[in-house]
Amino acid sequence: MRAPETFLLPQIRHLAWMLQAAQLHSGAVVFQPSQWCHTSAMDKLAAWEAEPLTGPSILRETPHYRLGIYFESLYECMMTELLGWTLLTRNLPVRENGSTLGELDFVLLNPGTGDIEHHEIAVKFYMAYPDSKAEHTPWYGPNPDDRLDLKTTHLLERQLQMSCLAQTHAALANMGIPPPHKRRIFLPGYLFYPLDTPVSAPESVALNHARGSWQYSSELRDDWINWVPLVKPHWLGPMVQTVPPDAAETHAALELVSSRQQVRLFAQLQQHPDTGFWTETRRCFVVPDSWPGQDSSSTTRKT
């Protein structure tokens, strides 16, 4: 399967990454696009890259500034245009007596089995925070209210179970859709490890998950050569650009970590000898010294 970093157009590169991405959860409930992907899907991506006007409109649209919304649009494109599944409904609200109980991300028809499937999706980026008081190493998002264990539990025990409710079956029946036969989650992303502290990966995460590192801004060294700040939606998959990294831009982004207490993601690039493109070789979160602060469970963390 063609590597994502060989594609230059961001939307196509992101789709290629999603087709191959390892998950931040393992088990039978996880949807693996690569198991349903044929060479024709990669051929189609290559054709779209050569002639974007022949592909779906998402290739020509400015990506939504909210990564989750952009990710959902890519997922629909991947499932329907590349894998040949039929979208039956998306973001279906489930209500009872005027109150919203939740919603289903995707309901799709599997062309291989004929099954109707309910898919809940998310793309996540978590940093391991060594904590001697915690039984297990907590994994926090850039916003420390977001945590890997909490998100996984919510996906499995709340969101995925929505399609079991009678109210959901009624909402689907109103659209002529039978109840789903299968329920799956799609949870790609990256896990970031402390730069100088060994940490074990969570047992529930795929062994081949995408990795990065993280460090505090006060601990930055002087060897930040050929790094670039990553702005959403370029958090998805490897960064590729045609121009050399701009050291001034990177320095300005690093300054914002301390001055504005912002968590920023960076990628180190290396020029490919054949294409001349600058391609990501590793990535790193840089966080303010106050991160992650104090969470709602009152667990003591570094301040």
Mind listing the pLDDT tens digit for each residue in 238-272? 999 999 999 999 999 999 999 999 999 999 999 99
Q: Domain spans of the chain?
A: 4-198+207-287
Nearest to 3 by CA among 228, 15, 11: 15
Q: pLDDT class for 132, splitting at 50, 70, 90?
A: low
188 and 24 in contact (C-beta within 8 Å)? yes
Instruction: For residues 147-154, give the mean pLDDT.
Output: 96
- Alpha-carbon distances, residue 88 vs 15, 18, 76, 120, 175 (angstroms): 21, 21, 11, 14, 9
Q: pLDDT class for 294, splitting at 50, 70, 90?
A: low
pLDDT at residue 299, as a whole number: 36
Q: Is the pLDDT assigned to residue 302 strictly greater than 60?
A: no
- The pTM for the full model equals 0.93
Mean pLDDT (the chain) is 93
Q: Choose between 220 and 228: higher pLDDT.
A: 228
Q: pLDDT class for 39, splitting at 50, 70, 90?
A: confident
pLDDT digits (tens, 9 = 90+) for 87-99: 999 999 999 988 9
